[in-house]
Amino acid sequence: MHRPVLARALTRAALALALAAGLAVTAAPDASADSGTFQQVSGFGSNPGGLAMYTYVPAGLPAGAPLVVALHGCGQSANDYDSDSGWPKYADAYRFAVVFPQTDSGNNPLSCFSWFDAGKDTRGNGEAASVVQMVTEAESRYGSDPHRVFVTGLSAGGGLTADLLADYPDVFAGGAVDSGLPAQCATTQSAASGCQNGSQNLTPAQWGDKVRGSYPGYTGPWPRVAIWQGTADYTVRPVNGTELRDQWTDVWGIGQTPSTTQSLPGGTTLTSYADGAGHPAVQLYSVSGMGHGLAVDPGSGPEQCGTTGPYFLAGICSSYYTARFWGLTGPATGGLPAPTGLAVTGTTASSVALSWNAVAGATSYDVYRGGVQVNTGAVSGTSFTDTGLAAGTPYGYSVAAVDSSGTVGPRSATVDATTTGGSPVTCYTTDNYHQTTAGRAHQSGGYTYADGSEQNMGLWNLFTTHTLAETSPGYYVLADSGCPA
């Protein structure tokens, strides 16, 4: 049962804390759903944000599958989002795992994620750090592809999604902000309602600076961002969709003139903003007449999903179009087998050269960087050079075979490549105890976590050894497979 709460009925303190989305009374999470399993995961890290971790994992999910993080709105739970958002349907269909973080009234009176609190929504801190620890745990448990991790959220969850994309562009390949706020729109509780209710009168460059300031020194690649906004949303005003568009197009350096505009079901207008290679980098979905909530479209069709209810509003299946934008809706099985032998044959400051073994019956190949297809024409041979990259930056690649009917087969295992140039990376190899005493990691509950990235390094002792790469001052990542050049 759900009990809506109007903004005018909230106290000033509660309004500053919440997105006025509503209160809900829900049952405990169901143990299973559809062909996969929905369950709670404990012990995923030091959890500075005090969140709970739930996951939905399709049966028989192979290693190397993508990972989606889905953040509920105020007054909702992980179980609500699992049941009503439609994400499990596409996890089953297209083979990826979903993490559902959950906050509660102990963190916020209305169980809202704290998108407006600089002590909780910034890199390495609070709820943001807890979500990234969940990603690390899921990658370890399910073998998820670290280059195809995506995050989406509704309302306050959408606000935190934007913050996470700004804080951790090295973790998330893409995001979707549903009825949410621009990254770092508010940094105090008192400023939260102003962001919800009106324009902040900032230029695109000023909005972009809020993203760039969330991870100083980061040079890309940036995540691809989908923005969903109802034109009749009086809780998070439609101007927030425009400001999110301004923010992320500025970060990408592509301007605010749409590359394409098209009509979709449910009175939805999609405006796309392409990168230099012609691939959509930012998309704004404006849903005519929709209020505050997540757009769903109940039904059994391939483009239908979800269950209507408070803040799950009928019109269009936003989860399907978001998954399609992220490149998750291609065939997971069928067609030709995945290519083998994918290898990096050379790098420059702006390019990566790849080669792979031929697949019998293939007429061409598709090449993916960070889960997004990068070839604009058919690749008929077994080699490809990706250009226009940032110096000294790591990238992940996979490749799929295409048969004569145009069917795209499953993708190969991902290989990593780092372009030359940029700031030098220093690596340190020693046991977890000495990594901690040297100030490159910290321990909690008997486990060791890398400073900055919060990656779980295993038990805190003298016997577990890892290599840590310092990719920016005070920020360390696991580099056991080799120190980036």
pLDDT tens-place string over residues 205-215? 999 999 999 99
The pLDDT score that the predictor gives to residue 288 is: 96
pLDDT of residue 16: 32
Q: Which DSSP string do the residues of 72-104 spell out, in sequence order?
A: --TT--HHHHHHHSSHHHHHHHHT-EEEEEE--
**pLDDT attached to residue 334:** 56
- Active site annotation includes 85: no
Q: Which of the following is catalytic: 77, 85, 130, 155?
A: 155
Helix 239-252 to helix 204-212 angle, to the nearest 10 degrees? 70
Q: Report the alpha-carbon distance of residue 77 to residue 406 in Å, rounded.
A: 41
Task: Return the pLDDT at 58.
Answer: 95
Q: Which residues of 153-187 are buried (b: 16+ CB within 10 A; e: fewer)?
A: bbbbbbbbbbbbbbbbbbbbbbbbbbbbbbbbbbb
> Could you tell me the two tokens for 316?
């269009």
Looking at 309-393, which runs of residues are DSSP E strands?
312-314, 343-347, 352-355, 364-369, 372-373, 383-386
Return d(Cα 476, Cα 469) in angstroms, integer: 5
**pLDDT given for residue 263 in this prediction:** 92
Q: What pLDDT score does 11 carry?
A: 29
List beta partners, residue 268: 264, 287
pTM of the model: 0.71
Q: In what order do the strands lie in the sheet with 383-386?
A: 343-347, 352-355, 383-386
Q: What parts of the chain have a pLDDT lower than 50?
A: 1-34, 332-333
Give me 423's structure tokens. 């700031």
Q: Look at residues 267, 288, 311, 263 and name the one whose alpha carbon lies nearest to residue 81.
A: 311
What pLDDT is recorded for position 380?
92
Q: Which domains does the chain have, with CATH numbers?
A: 2-326 (3.40.50.1820), 343-418 (2.60.40.10), 426-478 (no CATH)
